[in-house]
Amino acid sequence: MLQTRTRRRAWIAGIVAAVVAFAGVALSAQYAHAQTTLRGAADALGIDIGVAVDVNKLQNDQTYRDIVATEFNSVTAENVMKMETLQPSKGQYNFGQADTLVAFAQQNGQSVYGHTLVWHSQSPDWVENESGQTLRQSMQDHITTVMDHFEGDVFAWDVVNEVVSDNNGQLRDSFWLQGLGESYITDAFEFARQADPNADLYMNDYSIDGINAKSDRYYELAQGLVNQGLLDGMGFQAHLILGQVPGNMEQNLQRFADLGLKVRITELDIRMDLPSSQQMFEQQAQDFERVVNICTNLADCSGVTVWGVRDSDSWVPDVFDGQGDPLLFNDDGSKKPAYDAVLNALGGDPDETTPPDDTTPPDETTPPADGDCTARIEVVNDWGSGWQANVSVTAGQAAVDGWTLTWDWPSGQSISSSWNADISTSGSTVTAGDVGWNAGVGAGQTREVFGFIGSGTSAEPSVTCQAG
């Protein structure tokens, strides 16, 4: 399973190399690895960083639109792919707003995650009043028509949403259950599989992020559906409370992954009591980082979607009195500490320089500033259980005599052995110094200075180089 991620990343690296070669321009290490946005970092990891989108705001709010386009490589409709919007009257479909979102996503190179086909909430009245064969037929018609419409544009669907109650893992007593009995869940997946055999089919719910009676029930349902070849993924909404990321969340996601499923964090937000404080924002940053790390640590995690853009866009204050501020951006669109934490967990670096638009990136011979240096980690071999990287230092306009490199591992990597450097580690931060004979790098030159064997998923984090 680890290999899937590794293979995908190797493939991406191959494409980058090919593009660089084709363009005849050697991108500087700095720019080739510039991952200053969430989507840049997530692309490099081969996972999705998604956001729930309000289509009205997408059309009317420039700040909102820019953040969605720049920071995310996947989108989910916050509301407009729900049944009450898509089929407000029986047999009459209204795809307008959903199509707007899909078109936006395509213009911006984003994937679209479908939410949701069968749900007890935000369903039109007409369907809530049906039962038996009529209701079953309506369920099939809805699934088939919607999935046909979006076939090829929506890569995955929450086929059923929130079908387990909060009461000891019993099925939710919805109009679907009352009208059709327990078999409606399997039926929904069969209809969905028939409608679009290429889409990934998910179940999705809240309060199943840790191991508990509710997630146990999903585990059972998942086993049954997997045995019938009907389920591809499990969505964990992760509507969390500050400081309360479940301790066994990774273990929980892992057990679903072990069934052969993809796992995905589908609606992440972390709410707090208002008024919020800087300290609470720092705690929130840690919580977000933990959740994203849980995903990046799992080879089968397809991505993380946050449930809204700015705090002022969140559903939370409408539902939880006196609580809010659960997202990555402030009301004015500026980035919160949680944003930096997510970027860090994805292996990005807020301090890297992004190449300006419309200009050719400088070539590799452009040296760093006088007396300064840059450095680069390059993975040269990856055999699954371990990998080898070589590290090079480039001097600026003055020669370098001595260097200290520091970097942060994006997702729990470590060094199992190294050569030609003094290495020390503190948490996820590594510091590497020269060993005397390899201290010197000529002005404007690049020198391969040391190497190491890494464990965990191979990574090429950005490196800070201190000369002298």
Query: Rule CB under 6 A: which residues touch ligand G2I?
Result: 78-79, 121-122, 206, 237, 267, 315
Amino acid at 230: L
Q: How far apart are CA 192 and CA 376, in angstroms?
A: 47
Nearest CA among 449, 360, 332, 408 for reference residue 63: 332
Instruction: Give, for 263, the enclosing helix (H) or strand (E).
Output: strand 262-273
Q: How many CB atoms lie within 10 A of CB 403?
A: 23
Closer by beta carbon to ligand G2I, 315 or else 329: 315
Nearest CA among 237, 74, 71 for reference residue 154: 74
State in angstroms the smallest separation of the CB of 303 from ligand G2I.
Answer: 17
Closer by beta carbon to ligand G2I, 93 or else 206: 206
Handedness of CA 343, 344, 349, 350 (dihedral sign): positive
State in angstroms the smallest separation of the CB of 43 from ligand G2I.
Answer: 26
Closer by beta carbon to ligand G2I, 122 or else 416: 122
Written as six digits, the tokens of 416 are 């199992």
Closer by beta carbon to ligand G2I, 48 or else 54: 54
Determine which one of 250, 267, 289, 460 is catalytic: 267
Q: How far apart are CA 2 and CA 5, in angstroms?
A: 6
Written as six digits, the tokens of 386 are 């371990």
**Is 151 one of the annotated active-site residues of the chain?**
no
Instruction: Give, for 235, the enclosing helix (H) or strand (E).
Output: strand 233-236
Classify the phi-psi angles of 467: left when phi > 0, otherwise alpha if psi is within -120 to 50, otherwise beta: beta
Amino acid at 3: Q
Closer by beta carbon to ligand G2I, 43 or else 128: 128
Q: How far apart are CA 296 and CA 26, in angstroms?
A: 29
What are 373's strand-pairing partners?
A: 395
354 preceded by a cis bond (ω within 30 of 0): no
Closer by beta carbon to ligand G2I, 82 or else 336: 82
Q: How far apart are CA 206 and CA 222, in angstroms?
A: 16
Closer by beta carbon to ligand G2I, 116 or else 293: 116
**For the CA atoms of 304, 310, 312, 313, what is the dihedral angle to 10 degrees?**
-50
Q: Are strands 48-53 and 154-161 parallel, antiparallel or unpaired?
A: unpaired
Written as six digits, the tokens of 441 are 């790098």
Closer by beta carbon to ligand G2I, 79 or else 464: 79
Determine which one of 71, 78, 84, 162 is catalytic: 162
**Is 378 one of the annotated active-site residues of the chain?**
no
Q: How far apart are CA 373 and CA 396, in angstroms?
A: 5
Written as six digits, the tokens of 337 are 């500490």
Over its C-alpha atoms, the chain yields an Rg (Å, rounded) of 24
State in angstroms the smallest separation of the CB of 202 from ligand G2I.
Answer: 12
Q: How far apart are CA 368 and CA 370, in angstroms?
A: 7
State in angstroms the smallest separation of the CB of 318 from ligand G2I.
Answer: 7
Output the residue with the shortest Cβ distance to ligand G2I.
315
Q: How far apart are CA 112 and CA 199, in angstroms?
A: 11
The catalytic residues are 162, 267
